[in-house]
Amino acid sequence: MKKHLLMIAAGSMVAGFASLADAATIDDVKAKGFLQCGINTGLVGFAFQDDAGEWQGFDVDFCKAVAAAVFGDASKLKYTPLTGANRFEALKSGEVDVLSRNTTWTFSRDVDLALTFVGVNYYDGQGFIVPKSLGVASATELGGASVCIQTGTTTELNLADYFRANGMEYEPVPIETNEEAQSNYLAGRCDVYTTDRSGLAATRASLENPDDHLVLPEIISKEPLGPLVRQGDDHWADVARWTLNVLILAEEYGINQGNVEELAGGATDQPEINRMLGTEGEYGAMLGLERNWVVNVIKAVGNYGEIFDRWIGPETAIGLDRGANALYTEAGGILYSPPYR
Amino acid sequence: MAAIERPAETFRVSDLWTNQRSRGVLIQIIALVLLLSFVGWIVNNTVQNLRDLGVDAGYGFLWDPASYDINQTLIDYTSRSSHARAAVVGFLNTLLVAFCGIIFASLLGFVAGVLRLSPNWLVAKLMTVYVEFTRNVPVLLQILLWYGIVVNTLPHPRDAAEPVAGFFLSNRGFYLPRPEFGASAWLIGVALLAAIAFAVWFAARAKRMQSETGRIYPVLSVSLAAIVTLPVVAYFAAGQPITLDWPEIKGFNFAGGFALKPEFFALWFALSVYTGAFIAEIVRGGILSVSHGQTEAAYALGLKPNWTMRLVVLPQALRVIIPPLISQYLNLTKNSSLAIAVGYMDLTATIGRISLNQTGRALECMSIVLAVYLLISLLISAFMNWYNSRVRLVER
């Protein structure tokens, strides 16, 4: 009995903080004066520290966007770097307010873990990277290989399913972070490293000789990556969801960092832009935010396309194409936001 | 003579703080009530919060497919096996590394402890360096160090070093030939058991004969001869039923043979070397605790030095050595949970990490891990306490 109590006592440390989820997160965030955002411990392009030690990247910009939406100031923001293994506990326990860490939206995470995904900011799929010297051109030739894998991720499960479905054996080499996986891959502990293809592109770009490595053509899973919040505070989820939506809408309506001030200066002839930028209606107030919150967001980070191009687009070292992550109006794009009205 | 008049035992409220005895009881009651209410508050808080979160606690998920693969399994396991089976696989891996670690650490510790007392200056100093270095560097760093050495300095499997034919060293592990047992191999097992039984019987008889007649029998050499010869004879008699499965490079990796993975090696070696240093100090202390007069008395009786060590010093030293040794064995077992740092799939890594992550059942998974470590530790402790009670000096 005593043992039993001890276990519960240990668990309650986590659960004790979890009660914060009931309170209105936005009030807590405003009260403490900054947003606590969970990010990757290091993934070039998505969340990495620049030369000045500042966190930058695609996922980090979403944190900045939410901070700008709540405070009108993207600098009122603190980061918590999280591994694949501890990210959900950190979010559920209230250690972070938003998790923006290339996290795959799945049924069990959404339902069973009691989390709320607020949308998809990157449509991804799992792939493999191999040294070209291995002479492998397809994932179906990987039977018997040693595969480095980040533990606690969906990729771990997809990998098991893929090799099983194809009747191939492999040796899983479980690794905690992307850096460790990279060093084990380079040291030859494993033949293959597998993770989301965006992550692979980022990893490849950070290698000394990217051309010596090949991302295999197979995509073995759907990985819709998106930001998420705790379940149970719909209002806070709405704030995060519409922050993501306006980033996409802004690109659709041609609002960018350069012209947002000008467009917000007075009513334009496009009502959707007027509603977003606060020159028409009281949409900000409905969300408990400033009338010009969207202006603050776009001023801070730009629209979705600008964020993409800045960190992971074709012009960057990572060089990802928009592909499925283009607006629905482009060929092959599936990025689509509900209307702002 | 008038009886001494004792004041009637009446209780006054002021006794609660003026009378030393009742004050003591009162303080203990208050402390107990506070402790119980603290525990009660924690439990209540947990239950309440879990209910608020809409989390239904339960162990049903243990029977769902685990869906992940494990690279070192002592029993059959696939990604379709249950979380419970994954936990058992991890548990066995924990036991394996703890068992091998305890054996190697004891060996290292006893040798280093005795050698540190050696009159040979160089040997003694070398052992001092070993003990002081490993004891003062965190064990996690040592695990990572050995893992890094294996993975970064050893060659790729295709260029694996082959120091002895059939033995390969690579950064994916050490590969050895694995014995394959044929149909009649059981004969060898029977022969081995028979030899051991004979050795036990012979030792008992030798002891009896020695106490009756004073004659000393060569127990060690006779037992060793029996244990080696009988199985060898049986091996040939049964038509050589053991064949060796040689490791061979096949595609990306070695196939066949027996593989010692770098994860296991790094964890086992680092834990053994680290704990061995502590054991060395315990052994040294134990030996030093036996007064030098005992050794001199034994020499005066004409006992040879190694007999003096075995019959006089060690039995008395063990009395001092065993209790702290238990703690070291427990430490090694618990430290094996650092396995996750190098991706060795022990109990903490399977049910306590991956299953926990994939199912999100933190309370349930951690409670299992806690309970199992507690169980292992209590078992080791119980065994060593039993052993301690056997070697303890019986005082008359």
What is residue A21's predicted lDDT score, i.e. its pLDDT? Answer: 43
Q: Give the DSSP letter of residue B253.
A: E
Question: If you average pLDDT over residues B280-309, what whole number do you get?
Answer: 91
CB contact under 8 A, A15 and B53: yes
pLDDT per residue over B80-113, tens digit each?
A: 999 999 999 999 999 999 999 999 999 999 999 9
Task: Name the CA radius of gyration of chain B, rounded.
Answer: 29
CB contact under 8 A, A7 and B45: no
CATH topology identical between A2-123+224-325 and A126-221:
yes
What is residue B87's predicted lDDT score, i.e. its pLDDT? Answer: 94
pLDDT category at B239 given cuts 50, 70, 90 is confident
Rounded-to-integer distance, Cα A331 and Cα A327, Å: 8
pLDDT category at B394 given cuts 50, 70, 90 is low
The residue of chain B with its CA nearest to that of A18 is: B49
Distances (CA, A) of B92 to A121, B87, B95, B105: 42, 9, 5, 19
pLDDT per residue over A137-166, tens digit each?
A: 999 999 889 999 988 788 899 999 999 999
pLDDT category at B257 given cuts 50, 70, 90 is confident
What is residue A15's predicted lDDT score, i.e. its pLDDT? Answer: 45
CB < 8 Å to B80, chain A: 164
Asked if A157 reaches chain B (Cβ–Cβ under 8 Å), the answer is: yes
The answer as to CATH 3.40.190.10 being correct for domain A2-123+224-325 is: yes
What is residue A285's predicted lDDT score, i.e. its pLDDT? Answer: 93
Mutate to test the interface with A, among B53, B152, B250, B264 (most CBs of A within 10 A): B53
The residue of chain B with its CA nearest to that of A230 is: B53
Contact between B72 and B345 under an 8 Å Cβ cutoff? The reply is yes
Question: If you average pLDDT over residues B194-204, what whole number do you get?
Answer: 92
pLDDT category at B55 given cuts 50, 70, 90 is low
pLDDT per residue over B329-368, tens digit each?
A: 999 999 999 998 898 999 999 999 889 888 878 888 999 9
pLDDT category at B9 given cuts 50, 70, 90 is low
Segment 102-121 of chain B within 8 Å of chain A by CB:
none
Query: Any idea where the domains of chain A sit in the sequence?
Result: 2-123+224-325, 126-221
Rounded-to-integer distance, Cα B193 and Cα B169, Å: 34
What is residue B2's predicted lDDT score, i.e. its pLDDT? Answer: 53
Please give the residue that has the higher pLDDT: either A136 or B13.
A136
Asked if A14 reaches chain B (Cβ–Cβ under 8 Å), the answer is: yes
What is residue B77's predicted lDDT score, i.e. its pLDDT? Answer: 93
What is residue B4's predicted lDDT score, i.e. its pLDDT? Answer: 61
What is residue A16's predicted lDDT score, i.e. its pLDDT? Answer: 43
Question: Which of A36, A88, A12, A13 shows the shortest CA–CA distance to A236?
Answer: A36
Stretches where chain A sits below pLDDT 70 are: 1-23
Question: If you average pLDDT over residues B299-320, what whole number do you get?
Answer: 88
What angle (nearest 5°) sits at the alpha carbon of residue A200, between those of residues A196 and A204? Answer: 175
Contact between B241 and B233 under an 8 Å Cβ cutoff? The reply is no
CB contact under 8 A, A15 and B253: no
Secondary structure element (H or E) that encloses residue B176, with its range = strand B173-176
Question: If you average pLDDT over residues B160-173, what whole number do you get?
Answer: 87
Question: If you average pLDDT over residues B204-208, what whole number do you get?
Answer: 90
Task: Name the CA radius of gyration of chain A, rounded.
Answer: 21
> Is a pLDDT exceeding 60 seen at residue B151?
yes
Which residue type occupies B169? L
Asked if A31 reaches chain B (Cβ–Cβ under 8 Å), the answer is: no
CB contact under 8 A, B367 and A19: no
How far off is chain A from B269, nearest CA to CA, in Å? 19
Question: If you average pLDDT over residues B196-202, what whole number do you get?
Answer: 92
Question: If you average pLDDT over residues B8-22, what whole number do you get?
Answer: 76
Domains of chain B, start order:
83-162+258-391 (1.10.3720.10), 178-245 (no CATH)
Predicted-assembly ipTM surpassing the 0.90 threshold:
no
What is residue B305's predicted lDDT score, i.e. its pLDDT? Answer: 84
| Most distant CA atoms of chain B, gap in Å | 106
DSSP for A213-260?
Answer: EEE-S---S-EEEEEEEETT-HHHHHHHHHHHHHHHHHHHTT--TTTH
DSSP for B82-127?
Answer: BHHHHHHHHHHHHHHHHHHHHHHHHHHHHHHHHHTT-S-HHHHHHH
Contact between B313 and B294 under an 8 Å Cβ cutoff? The reply is yes
B371 C-beta neighbours (distance < 10 Å), count: 14
Question: Which range among A146-150, B43-47, B291-295 shows the weakest confidence by mean pLDDT?
Answer: B43-47
Segment 35-94 of chain B within 8 Å of chain A by CB:
39, 42-43, 45-50, 52-55, 67-71, 78-80
CB contact under 8 A, B255 and A187: no
The residue of chain B with its CA nearest to that of A177 is: B341
- Computed over every residue of chain B, the mean pLDDT equals 88
Kindly give the interhelix angle for A178-187 and A197-206, rounded to the nearest 10 degrees: 60
How far off is chain B from A186, nearest CA to CA, in Å? 9
CATH homologous superfamily of A126-221: Periplasmic binding protein-like II (3.40.190.10)
Contact between A340 and A276 under an 8 Å Cβ cutoff? The reply is yes
What is residue A261's predicted lDDT score, i.e. its pLDDT? Answer: 93
CB contact under 8 A, A22 and B52: yes
Strand ranges across the sheet with B258-260: B161-164, B167-170, B173-176, B258-260
Rounded-to-integer distance, Cα B143 and Cα B269, Å: 8
What is residue B396's predicted lDDT score, i.e. its pLDDT? Answer: 57
CB contact under 8 A, B67 and A9: no
Secondary structure element (H or E) that encloses residue B163, with its range = strand B161-164
First to last CA, chain B: 46
Residue contacts between A and B (CB atoms, under 8 Å): 149
Closest partner residue to A144 (CB to CB) among B80, B251, B354 is B251
pLDDT per residue over B67-85, tens digit each?
A: 899 988 889 999 899 999 9
What is residue A319's predicted lDDT score, i.e. its pLDDT? Answer: 87
**Residue B139: helix, strand or coil by DSSP?**
helix
- Strand-pair category, A77-82 with A35-40: parallel
What is residue A6's predicted lDDT score, i.e. its pLDDT? Answer: 47
**Burial class, A143, CB count within 10 angstroms (exposed 0-12 / middle 13-18 / buried 19+):** middle
Asked if B374 reaches chain A (Cβ–Cβ under 8 Å), the answer is: yes
Asked if B156 reaches chain A (Cβ–Cβ under 8 Å), the answer is: yes
What is residue B8's predicted lDDT score, i.e. its pLDDT? Answer: 60
Question: Which range among A120-134, A255-269, B6-20, B245-259 shows the weakest confidence by mean pLDDT?
Answer: B6-20
What is residue A3's predicted lDDT score, i.e. its pLDDT? Answer: 46
CB contact under 8 A, A12 and B71: no
